[in-house]
Amino acid sequence: MAMIARKCPEIKVTVVDLNEVRIAEWNSSKLPVYEPGLQEIVESVRDQNLFFTTNIDENLKEADIIFISVNTPTKDYGSGSGQAADLRFVESCARRIAEVGGGNKIVVEKSTVPVRTAQMVKEILSGAENGFDYQVVSNPEFLAEGTAMSDLENPDRVLIGGETTDEGKIAVQKVVDIYGHWVDPERILTTNLWSSELSKLTANAFLAQRISSINAISALCEATEADVDEVARAIGSDSRIGPKFLRSSIGFGGSCFQKDILNLTYLCRYFGLPEVAEYWQQVISMNEYQKERFVRRLLNAMFDTISGKRIAVLGFAFKKDTNDARESPAIGICKRLLEEKGSLNIYDPQVTPESVLKALSMEKDELGDRIRFFDSAPEACMNTHAIAILTEWDEFKELNYEDILQGMLRPAHIFDGRNLLDLEKLKKIGFRAFGIGKI
Ligand code: UDX
């Protein structure tokens, strides 16, 4: 919304939310999310044509176009629990829009939703029978965290789906016109509603599939002395495959990939396609396997036990340049290390200790001294038996590992879960060093 406000000075953008604390944070000098470049963009337009308020009804009434941008987490109760998307927030938005009325409106689904959600939104809106016309348009978001501002400014594509009626086409065009302020018309794709909804889930499934594919090969590399980075480079230079999203790692995380694939598999089962569901389920299974493989390799290298040993965990965010730890692979790995009776020294440049504990669903008291938090990587590594790099923060590349080694217990291990470091150099200075998909 901040990018729309910035690029379209004649459009008034108002972000409304029930949560007063969040809105206050959006109006403050410390935004509730860490995203490079976001603060500057928000501050350049806030209180000019970008507003944050809890005054929901009045703004819904006034708006010509409403973007529904609420959470659609995986359902954790009842039918479809653990797989289906929980659409209650989308539904309550639709109900509120219908209730307040105020005029004809275009309602845009920005949240990631299962295919055919627009049908539910349409039924709720038309059920209001208030004499106003509502057009539902799908406009999924493809930005990635950490690079959100440049993704929004220079998107590969903007996708806008709508009904194929005359009114539907007019609504789609109005949304196209917003993005047309800064996006090349060739990059604005229009489709029918259902293709647009399904494309978002499919895009994330394909991206995650690439990571699981290269991670599957990483296991084979470790068994055969091939090097997964070399294999990725070799296959990625085939223009049909391409070089992106072939970085082998401890597995993908984040709020989207797992949730969207689970949702896709649920939809496949719902529509009577169990084989298709199984196919996509494997992408998640491989991701789980990759995390467990990392833990097993670590245990194996540390003489099959980490009981009573302390491990420095560098990075907890699901990727660099974000303070987001949702579904981070670090969660499962840290839980397993604690289960094996290891103790952890955790450092992440952006994720707070509170967020780490919340992600682990653990209280500080229950862990006592088995988990400690630090303000820098070198401090976290002092007096540890091993370092595990779980997020690819740039600063971990610049550390003085020779100095760090001096403060560690021997033999000192380093497990680079993001293939960030030069293992040969680390071995030369005295580390027992391990990457992913290489020996
Ligand atoms: C993703 C999609 O990229 C974006 O288009 C969509 O709108 C939301 O979901 P995001 O979750 O922010 O974005 O991050 P992304 O950069 O896709 O990374 C997801 C996970 O995959 C991270 O844990 C990352 O470390 C991992 N990853 C990514 C790899 O392990 N290897 C890679 O080569 C790329």
Q: Note the pLDDT tens digit of each residue in 389-426.
A: 999 999 999 999 999 999 999 999 999 999 999 999 99
Q: Judge whether residue 366 has pLDDT over 90.
A: no
Cα radius of gyration (the chain)? 24
What is the percent of the chain where pLDDT is above 70? 100
Contact yes or no for 96/56 (Cβ under 8 A): yes
70 token code pair? 């609420």
Q: What is the DSSP string of 211-260?
A: HHHHHHHHHHHHHHT--HHHHHHHHHTSTTT-STT----S---SSSHHHH
Band of residue 437 on the pLDDT scale cut at 50, 70, 90: very high
Residue 253 CA, closest ligand 1 atom number: 23
162: Cβ below 6 Å to ligand 1?
no
143: Cβ below 6 Å to ligand 1?
yes
Q: Judge whether residue 365 has pLDDT over 90.
A: no
State the distance from the centre of ligand 1 to the C-alpha of 115, rounded, in angstroms. Answer: 22
Cα–Cα distance for residue pair 74/127, rounded to 1 Å: 27
Band of residue 70 on the pLDDT scale cut at 50, 70, 90: very high
Cα–Cα distance for residue pair 326/433, rounded to 1 Å: 28
**What was the pLDDT predicted at 138?**
97
Return left, alpha or beta for 306; rule: phi > 0 is left, psi -120 to 50 is alpha, else beta.
Answer: alpha
3-state secondary structure of 14: strand
**What was the pLDDT predicted at 326?**
95
Cα–Cα distance for residue pair 315/388, rounded to 1 Å: 9
**What was the pLDDT predicted at 149?**
96
Non-local CB neighbours of 353 within 8 Å, separated by 6+ positions? 346, 364, 373
Q: 133-155: per-residue pLDDT in tens?
A: 999 999 999 999 999 999 999 99
The closest alpha carbon to 321, from 203, 153, 144, belongs to 144
| Phi/psi of residue 132, nearest 5 degrees | -95, 150
Q: 203-215: per-residue pLDDT in tens?
A: 999 999 999 999 9
Q: Judge whether residue 223 has pLDDT over 90.
A: yes
**What was the pLDDT predicted at 4?**
98
Which helix (H) or strand (E) segment holds residue 413: the answer is strand 413-416
Return left, alpha or beta for 406; rule: phi > 0 is left, psi -120 to 50 is alpha, else beta.
Answer: alpha
256 is catalytic: yes
Band of residue 196 on the pLDDT scale cut at 50, 70, 90: very high
Q: What is the DSSP string of 158-179?
A: EEEEE-SSHHHHHHHHHHHHHH
Q: What is the DSSP letter of 85?
A: B
Average pLDDT over residues 323-352: 97
204: Cβ below 6 Å to ligand 1?
yes
Question: Which residue's CA lies nearest to atom 27 of ligand 1?
Answer: 252
